[in-house]
A and B are shown apart, each in its own frame.
Chain A
Amino acid sequence: MQLVLPDFDVLAADSVETACSMLRAHQGMAQFLAGGTDLLVKMKLRKLMPRYLINVKGIPGLDQINCDGDRLRIGALNTIQAIQSSETVTREIPMLSRAAGVLGTMPIRNLGTLGGNLGNASPSAEFGPPLLVLEASVRCLGQGGERMIPMTEFFLGPGKSALHPDEMITEVHVPTPPNRAKCVYLKHSLRKMDVAMVGAAVLMLLDGDVCRDVRIALGAVAPTPFRARKAEAALRGSKLAGDRAESELLEEVARIGSEESSPIDDLRGAASYRKRIVGMLVKQGLAQTIARARE
């Protein structure tokens, strides 16, 4: 196929409210258009054929990044590149800027947005795991008014999120991690620009040699990005003395994390291999964050 876009009309929204009412007016037949890097690809491939595209790029105010006290507020229309190069993000939560930096390619990062990455709700969405360990929440607005969806409740399945059919993501609220917490996001893909075969984010809070808190989230290895709670539980509160017991424990945690994942065989990798990589990345993530915490 020549990949000509199917017929549609573009509706320009200048506020979140109009965007949402447009969506409601054309229920089931309309999609928000942000960067278009997911949407237009799906439309060219005829996986989606909306009658209307509601262009939300013109809505003012949604491309801000603010730090108020102990949280970052990142507007949904920020491009991936804006997040990567934001001084605020880099200073407060470097993991987020690095996660942005490994998403796709420069021209894609310049188009794609945070809202689109979440709205698309792909199991491999780059921002899934980092925002899960940061316990971020998604602010959205719809007919029923405004609400905050905790990240842990946001993804429901491949392409499915907790957004109501008339809701739009306006912001993501990210609590800045406790002072001494260390976080890392690791991505495994054959080429750097590719969608992750496995993504893993780890947040580690050490208190002396005790693991005060640990959060582990995985991407691309289940119907949605998810928190590996069992693995976390196996580590939380444990002593990490840099000895053999520690490395055995981390192995065990990695193994549990890998058990918690349920990847499928696809083009990018077989399920068994992905499970193995999950274990690897979890172990690496833990080791890296622990090492940094000890510095």
Chain B
Amino acid sequence: MANTRTLKINGRPYPVALQGGETLLDVLRDTLGLTGTKKGCNLGDCGACTVLVDGTPINSCLMLASEAEDKQISTIEGVAKDGELAPIQKAFVNEGGIQCGYCTPGMIMSSIALLNKNPEPSIEEIKDGLAGNLCRCTGYFGIMRAVRRCGNYRGDGTCAEKSGEVPATDDGSYVGDERYASVGASIPRLDAADKAMGRALYTGDISLPRMAHGKILGSPIAHGIIKRIDTSKAMALPGVLAVITGEDVPDECFGVSPARYDEHVLSKKKVLHVGDRVAAVAAIDEKTAEKALSLIEVEYMELPPILDPFEAIAKDAPLIHERYRGNINTFVDQAHGDVEKGFAESDFVKEETFVGNLTHQQPMEPHASIATWESDGTLVLYTSTQAPHYVQYMLAHVFHLPLGRIRVIRPTVGGGFGAKAGTSPLELCAPILSKITGRPVKMVYSREEMMLFGRGRHKQYMKYKLGLDRNGKIKAFESEIHLDGGAYASFGVATTYYAGNMMPTLYHIPNFKYKGIRVVTNKPACGAFRGHGVPQPRFAFECLLTMMADEMGIDPIEIRRRNSMDPNTRTVNDLDIQSCEFRATLDAVQKKSGWKEKYGKLPKGQGIGIGCGGFVSGAGYAIYRGQVQMSHEKGPEHFQKKSIFPHANAIVRVTEDGMAAILMIGVAEIGQGAETVMAQMCAEALGIPVSRMRVRAEDSDISPIDLGAYSSRVTLMGGHAVSRAGQAVVERMKPIAAAMLECDPSEVVARDARMYAANGRSVPWEEVARKYFNDNGPLVGTGWYKPRDGLGGDYKGATVGTSPAYSFGSSVCEASVDLETGKVKIEQFTDYHDCGVPINPMMARGQVEGAIVMGAGETIMEEILFDEKGRMMNPNLHGYLVMTIKDAPDIFSGLVESYEPEGPYGAKEIGEGTTLPVLGAVAHAIANATGVWVKELPITPERIRTALRAAKS
């Protein structure tokens, strides 16, 4: 029985009918539409749902709504007054405290409670107040700055005075390029204010009229054959609208690499991991849908699960997929140069084995999708994705629909890091359920479901052999890597190649051999996670190089300098490096960190370590072959060493009054700041301020395709497209301006919202735009970008790792280790990166700060664990440990002067490359502090203790 109660929210009464069993969070979001408060875990672990009750922050997912009656509830929606941001919101916006924004409302509510009690909290007090709010993007550093400096934000949004107490993130040594107005400006993100107010709409915040809710039934066993499914009881439950099983979904498989599409929307016969999809339901609400799942009867014939990759490849091991012989899904065997000769010429050779960990991206926003069909048969899908075009491509493939009949809308996305790069079962089940029910169907993963869907970082077993001459120069490197891929291919083919191919980009490696074996096991499939395939191999390489340097008596930074990559180099495996300021990053971290005074001179228990890394600025080739077209319509596609279609495309339309430019580009803003840097580059090309730009990137009906936010491609590729589109507009305006200025069109320059003749006379930009419209109709420009033809070598797999440009970076980590317990505290990070010309230095540093905390967490605490039956033991955020603000180190993030000739305005990537130096730096700092190397991730206190004990005996 429902009772009508009144909740007092943000000073206003809200009458609500309560059943009694709803959490405050669900009532706020679902009943009252106050979706600013977020749901990241629903179990009290993440803090995204933090609201204030009588001024006190609490997890609204753990409070019954009925208990909140008679109390003052404050949510993010009430913080800004009359549209004016409160000082704390301004601070979050301006200090880089916001990226994807999913943690932001909770973070701000916790900050408000803290500051109300204590207007000038110490760093420790801030950490204590915010430790219950997880953020996966910012590394907490911008958040710390925001809370510390909140007092400085006056009504006008300016920062009154820079308080010196916050550890400086930058020494100001980086000087931007004066030629540019918008490029190189550390402006706040365009979407920051909306996120700070809780106004940004994520997929899970959206509801459509008559919307139904869908859920997927996951397998309770890791390996088995579905013998019988009885859905009749579920179907009979009042409120259930549809129940589907493997029989009701297309025979067409989906996946990522076209050669390895190996997943059905729902299992047709076998289940291959716990959580594998068995059936799906749609019902009038979530609760009913969940109940219906429990009424579906499934009878399985259990098969023994194969969980260990080495057991999977053992002779006579049963096959998980018929098609993968020996349970090997990808096999790579490459040799470049002459490794035997290289080792023969080496003075020092060392062999070591390293083991990585299965980690998960854990974006704070779990996946969500809403599907609906228009009456003309067009499928509309709202979805939390980082690659809208590939989702569109995959829907076309599975449902045999032309791409033109599929509209993908990407609302605000709360982080991805690779978890949302492939197509998810939600994206495929929702359309089917929507078709059957005739209603929009929304599907949202819980944290557990998201983790069981998987696509995290492959656990890699790395056998390395490295040969150096007496000066420490690399002569030969051989690696054999087994990747535990889980049940499906996903991104795994590319992962396997990346794991080897990227090794020679950082150091000159004249002779290189790589064997990669990706194995299928009965666990959730692994995929692409920030740094795709490379972080663990890079960690292992960095460790091995440092070990050898120490043994040979060469300083670890010096040995890197001696081997470091040079600009304009073709690597042994045919990757073309253009700009490269790797050595400058080494010099800078050495100086800034005080390396020489510290390395080898610290007391026991304290350590300092170096790690380096870099990444591609966009994959040189698209994931599928041929042109943009439904796959069954295409004939067999032979590989051509060129891009068939442009990877990034943009349209700029100037509004008829000339006061705004609408940039239409399909880049996926997932928190990294894509829309903001696109606007900056486009504004630069147009000669107008960013404030006049509006970006429409969320809708495939509006924007031409962009391949998405993966392989750190957006800044470089999207940047070219938008700046070319901007230039195209200016070219159209030039003759008009020339006529007005009585000069030659070729002299006209657009700058600062005016158009100038060579003699300095000028007219307002908008005036020219209006004139253009009056005489020529819409003022539009288009731009596109294709990687240049012929990238990479000719051997099998040579395409992976090809890119127009490569980033470089070095990190120094300082850590202390309690030698008795093995507990590690990461104290300080000093990082310098070569990302070409940073389009927005504040946001670039935000990427570095986030990657450091994420990477450090991966190194010391993150790992998904399974029991002997293949059940995940920690499918939540209290078992899977993500660093809190208390665990995060202080960070100094610097950028070195660099210019990338292949990049727009000289820019290249800083999204994924930032993760790569981190793992090795942390591992080295720990080894330096303890005297022992732990070669298995994560480097837990327990493992450190074991290593210390082993070293003693």
Chain A interfacial positions (CB closer than 8 Å to B): 1-10, 33, 35-37, 40-41, 44-45, 53, 55, 57, 81, 101, 104-108, 110-111, 188, 190-195, 267, 269-270, 273, 276-277, 280
Contact = CB atoms under 8 A, between A and B. Distances in A.
Interface string B526-542: 00000000000000000
Contacts of B67: 55, 57
A3 B293 CA distance: 13
Contact of A269 (B66, B446, B865, B942): B942
Contacts of B884: 105, 191-193
Nearest to B874: A267
A64 B449 CA distance: 42
Contact of B20 (A10, A37, A106): A10
B131 A2 contact: no
A108 B59 contact: yes
Given A1-B290, A3-B43, A191-B883, A106 B23 contact: no
A190 B132 contact: no
A110 B52 CA distance: 10
Contacts of B942: 269-270, 273
Contacts of A108: 44, 59, 62, 132
Given A10-B20, A190-B881, A192-B884, A37 B44 contact: yes
A41 B44 contact: yes
B861 A191 contact: yes
B59 A5 contact: no
B56 A110 contact: yes
B940 interface: yes
B17 interface: no
B823 A4 contact: no
Contacts of A104: 44, 132
Contact of A41 (B62, B290, B873, B881): B62
Given A106-B57, A267-B865, A280-B820, A195 B131 contact: no
B945 A273 contact: yes
A105 B131 contact: yes
Contacts of A5: 21-23
A2 B44 contact: no
Contacts of B731: none
A192 B20 CA distance: 34
Contact of B132 (A2, A55, A193, A280): A193
Contact of B23 (A40, A105, A192): A40
B319 interface: no
A269 to B, nearest CB: 6
A147 to B, nearest CB: 29
B20 A110 contact: no
B19 to A, nearest CB: 8
Interface string B36-65: 000000111001001000001111001110
A40 B25 CA distance: 13
Contacts of A40: 23, 62, 64
A162 to B, nearest CB: 27
A1 B446 contact: yes
B176 interface: no
B290 A44 contact: no
Contacts of B874: 267
B283 to A, nearest CB: 11
A194 B44 CA distance: 12
A9 B131 contact: no
A160 B884 CA distance: 32
Given A107-B57, A276-B945, A7 B21 contact: yes
A186 to B, nearest CB: 10
A194 B21 contact: no
Contacts of B293: 1
B879 interface: yes
A269 B942 CA distance: 8
A2 B290 CA distance: 7
B445 to A, nearest CB: 9
28 contacts: A1-B448, A3-B43, A3-B446, A4-B26, A5-B23, A7-B21, A8-B20, A9-B20, A10-B64, A35-B62, A37-B62, A41-B44, A55-B64, A105-B884, A106-B57, A106-B113, A106-B132, A111-B58, A193-B131, A193-B884, A193-B886, A194-B878, A195-B878, A267-B873, A267-B874, A269-B942, A273-B941, A273-B942
Given A37-B59, A40-B62, 18 more contacts: A1-B448, A2-B286, A2-B290, A4-B290, A5-B23, A7-B21, A9-B21, A10-B64, A33-B64, A41-B62, A106-B113, A107-B47, A107-B132, A111-B58, A192-B887, A193-B132, A267-B874, A280-B820
Given A40-B62, A55-B67, A191-B886, A107 B42 contact: no
Contacts of A1: 290, 293, 446, 448-449
Contacts of B132: 104-108, 193
B57 A194 contact: no
Contacts of B64: 10, 33, 36, 40, 53, 55
Interface in B60-108: 62-64, 66-67
Nearest to B218: A1
B248 to A, nearest CB: 22
Tell which of B448, B820, B879 has the most Cβ of chain A within 10 Å.
B820
A67 to B, nearest CB: 24
A192 B62 contact: no
Contacts of B42: 2-3, 44
Nearest to A10: B20
Interface in B900-953: 940-942, 945
Contacts of A276: 945
A104 B289 CA distance: 32
A106 B50 CA distance: 10
Nearest to A12: B66
A110 B57 contact: yes
Nearest to B293: A1
Contacts of A9: 20-21
Given A1-B448, A276-B945, A110 B886 contact: no
A106 B22 CA distance: 23
Contacts of A280: 820-821
Nearest to B53: A110
Contact of A4 (B133, B287, B820, B883): B287
Nearest to B114: A106
Interface pairs A-B: 7 shortest CB-CB: A105-B132, A273-B942, A3-B42, A4-B287, A107-B59, A110-B56, A107-B57
B341 to A, nearest CB: 46
B21 A190 contact: no
B444 interface: yes
Given A2-B286, A106-B131, A188-B821, A41 B58 contact: no
Interface in B828-881: 861, 865, 873-874, 878-879, 881
A8 B21 contact: yes
A268 B209 CA distance: 45
Contact of B63 (A36, A81, A106): A36
A220 to B, nearest CB: 14
Contacts of B446: 1-3
Contacts of A190: 823, 861, 881, 940-941
Contacts of B879: 267
B792 to A, nearest CB: 42
A281 to B, nearest CB: 8
A60 B110 CA distance: 28
Nearest to B70: A58
Contacts of A194: 878, 881
Contacts of B129: 106
B151 to A, nearest CB: 21
A191 B128 contact: no
Contacts of B289: 2
A276 B356 CA distance: 26
A111 B63 contact: yes
B653 interface: no
A8 B66 CA distance: 13
A243 to B, nearest CB: 21
A277 B23 CA distance: 38
B268 interface: no
